[in-house]
Amino acid sequence: MRRYGLHTGIRAAVLLLALQCLEPVSAQEAAEAIQSCLDCHDYGEGAPAHQVLLGSHGIAGDTTDMAGRRGCLDCHGDSEAHVENPRQHAPDLSFGPRWSASGGAQDGPCLDCHLQDSASNWQHSLHMVNSMTCITCHDIHTQQDQVLIASRQNQICTACHKAQKTGIHDLGAKGPENPPCSACHNPHDHEAARPHMASNDSAGCTFCHTAQDMDTLAALNPQAGNYHRAMESSNRGCIDCHQGISHAPRDSAPLLHPAPVRGRQITLFYPGNATRQWLLTRHPGSQPLRQGTACSLCHRGDEAEMGSSLGADLVQPSRELAIAFSQAGEKIFIDLTWPGGIDDEYLALMWGDDRNLEFRRGGCFAACHDDSRGSASRILYHGTGQDETAIMGALASAAQLWRISLESGKLTTAHIGTGISNERSSPTDVTATTEFVAGRWSVRLSINTKAQAGSERFVAGEHYTFGIALHGSDNPGRGHWVSLPMTFSLSGNSTDFVTE
């Protein structure tokens, strides 16, 4: 067991004493049960363990409410193996950052209490269906869960619901003056806004529009007054009449889930230099990332903004590029065009199939976010009790890199992954042509899907993940602009791009 200094011991003792004084019997038992946790995890007021025990999920409070509470053990289990050897064994139920249990397992302790109240319909909610868990939005290891603070709730919701960043009536700039999202929407249910607003007397609207406002309007417009009185006496809400005025148009932001197209405009951006460790522990999206959520779920639509933030000193922190897929017989064509100049040197595409789960989640970033900053071979990894330094080459399928010289049109390929030769070769089944006319680059890739029996490039029914990078000498530092991971299949309705 790790031992800390005198100050840490004093802090733990003070915290335990406070808990015992508040609840002489049950708190005493709970305090003894969590002592092993505090030996390592309570290193001061900023420690997550310290914060959670002082909050509503701790063991200090009303005697009746706290009866049977065991603090850390209520959510993480007894975790005896972890107590004995915390470096080698995960807690019985882990929420990260080193280990992460499944989403269903993590939701279990929450639903044990909240299924009887706020989360009574969680099993039918759209958030649950879309693989979100309670801690995707909630953080109980703080004195105040940010998503429960009315003035801050919208910042968390709009990380995914980008069309709503403009706020109510496009007044997003007013920030805290906007009503919280939960005033109109129930995040723990499948319900649309209308039934939720009918049940809470349109709390989202009355957040700003008071009864006095309604009386004034009735005096000016008797018909509106009649409508408002009818609404007050029945199970109705404001949006029964006032529809489509709350938020920006539905198509003002990219879809959370792709609608397959043969071609569209994409945005490449100046990439960050975050390490794998930061992404899996300190990144705000580290929890869903560890559980397998793709980077694009939250970041789709933010590419230009990310580029400006990460490459503020660049003339072009982001680049627009058009991509289109087509098929003729056994050949697939990929056409890419963009405005540019002679400083653009190489175009690269990296591919992985469905067997490579980590590449499917992170695309190029699965190869490039590497603590060692040496070779692009380590991947983002999620799992329980397994080797955290798993590498692409150890997976069923490595990623393949295609690199095209814009000057010569020469295409070379390489496999990315330890244990697999990353020497570049010139394939016969993939060729490229490049052209620069009037300040615009055009690249056409031609893929013979059946050039070699048994080693087809693209197979019907399979899904592929790919990323694009544009290299240029006028981009210092990282030297390239990159895309978020995108998906491709020959046909179907569950990928970003199709040929049919």
Let me know whether 195 and 72 are in one domain.
no
Mark which of 219, 250, 281 sits at the end of a domain.
Answer: 250
d(CA 232, CA 228): 6
pLDDT in tens, 336-355: 999 998 889 999 998 888 77
Mark which of 250, 272, 292 sits at the end of a domain.
Answer: 250
Let me know whether 246 and 358 are in one domain.
no
Residue 198: phi, psi to the nearest 5?
Answer: -65, -30
In-domain check, residue 49? yes
Let me know whether 184 and 308 are in one domain.
no
In-domain check, residue 203? yes
Looking at 165-221, list the stretches that DSSP marks H as alpha helix, in order from N- to C-terminal side.
Answer: 193-199, 203-206, 211-220
- Report helix angle 222-232 to 211-220, nearest 10: 140
In-domain check, residue 142? no
Let me know whether 316 and 458 are in one domain.
yes
Let me know whether 358 and 415 are in one domain.
yes
Let me know whether 330 and 214 are in one domain.
no
pLDDT at 118: 87
Looking at 69-202, list the stretches that DSSP marks H as alpha helix, in order from N- to C-terminal side.
Answer: 72-76, 80-84, 103-114, 126-129, 134-137, 150-157, 193-199
Let me know whether 465 and 363 are in one domain.
yes
Res. 394 pLDDT band, cuts 50 70 90: very low
In-domain check, residue 392? yes
- Secondary structure letter of residue 180 according to DSSP: P
In-domain check, residue 102? no
Q: How far is CA 401 from CA 355, 378, 468, in A?
A: 16, 15, 10
pLDDT in tens, 130-168: 778 898 888 888 778 889 988 888 888 888 887 787 777
In-domain check, residue 1? no
Let me know whether 308 and 378 are in one domain.
yes
In-domain check, residue 293? yes
Let me know whether 338 and 443 are in one domain.
yes
pLDDT in tens, 89-125: 999 998 877 777 888 899 999 999 898 888 888 988 8
Q: Is 264 helix (H, G, I), strand (E, B) or coil?
A: strand
In-domain check, residue 128? no
Predicted confidence (pLDDT) at residue 207 exceeds the cutoff of 90: no
Number of folded domains that form the chain: 3
d(CA 437, CA 323): 17
Let me know whether 323 and 226 are in one domain.
no
Q: Which domain holds residue 212?
A: 147-250
Mark which of 229, 250, 271 sits at the end of a domain.
Answer: 250
